[in-house]
Structure 1
Amino acid sequence: MDGVDEVADEPRRRGRPKVSSDEDKRAHIVEIARRVFVKYGYAGSTTAVVATEAGVSKQTLYKLFQSKEELFAAVVGAHRRLMLDLPRAVEDLSIAESLEHIFMIDMDEKKDADRAGFLQLVFREAAQFPELIEILQREGMLASRQHLADWLNDRRAEGRLTLDDPASGARMLMDMIFGGMGPPEGRAHAWSGRAEMLAHLRRCIAIFAVGVRAT
Structure 2
Amino acid sequence: MKHPDMMKENDTEPTGKVPRRAGRPPVLSEDERRAALLEAAYEVFVREGYAGATVEAIAQQAGMSKRTLYRFFRDKKQLLHALVKAHQTDSPPSAPVPDPEAPIRQELRNLLVNVLTTLLEPRQVALLRLVISETPNASDVTEEYLKVNLTGLFGSLNSRFAQLREAGAIRTANPEETAGLMLSAALGPLLWKALTSEVGTDVPEARIAAQVDAVLQVFAPTLLPPGA
Q: TM-score interval w.r.t. the shorter chain?
A: 0.5 to 0.7
- Rg larger in 1 or in 2? 2
Query: Structure 2 stretches of 5 or more lacking a match?
Result: 1-23, 100-106
Q: Structure 1 length normalisation: TM-score?
A: 0.62
**Equivalent residue of 1:104, what SS?**
helix
Report the identity percentage.
Answer: 24
Structure 2 contact 37–58 (Cα < 8 Å) conserved: yes
User: Structure 1 pair 172/199, CA: closer, same or farther in 2 (3 Å)?
Assistant: same
Aligned pairs, number = 187
AA matched with 2:74? Q
Structure 1 contact 51–58 (Cα < 8 Å) conserved: yes
Structure 1 contact 65–71 (Cα < 8 Å) conserved: yes
CA distance in 2, matches of 1:143, 1:117: 13
Structure 1 contact 149–166 (Cα < 8 Å) conserved: no
CA distance in 2, matches of 1:143, 1:116: 11
1:66-115 alpha-carbon deviations (Å, 9 max, x no partner): 2211111122233444xx753667624523213212221896xxx53x44
User: Structure 1 pair 173/185, CA: closer, same or farther in 2 (3 Å)?
Assistant: same
Q: Structure 2 length normalisation: TM-score?
A: 0.59
CA distance in 1, matches of 2:151, 2:173: 16
Structure 1 contact 149–170 (Cα < 8 Å) conserved: no
AA matched with 1:91? V
Q: Which residue of 2 aligns with 1:177?
A: 186
**Equivalent residue of 2:56, what SS?**
helix
Out of 79, 86, 94, the residue aligned to residue 78 of structure 1 is 86
Q: Which residue of 1 aligns with 2:215?
A: 204
1:98 matches 2:104: no
AA matched with 2:156? D
CA distance in 2, matches of 1:145, 1:53: 32
Query: Structure 1 stretches of 5 or more lacking a match?
Result: 1-15
AA matched with 1:103? L
1:120 matches 2:134: no
CA distance in 1, matches of 2:208, 2:115: 17
Answer 1 or 2: which has greater helix percent. 1
CA distance in 2, matches of 1:180, 1:125: 22
1:144-202 alpha-carbon deviations (Å, 9 max, x no partner): 223321343156447485566565455434432332225355469xxxx9666752244
1:109-138 alpha-carbon deviations (Å, 9 max, x no partner): xx53x44444333444544x2x1x441232
The worse-fitting range, judged by mean Cα deviation, of 98-107 and 23-32 is: 98-107
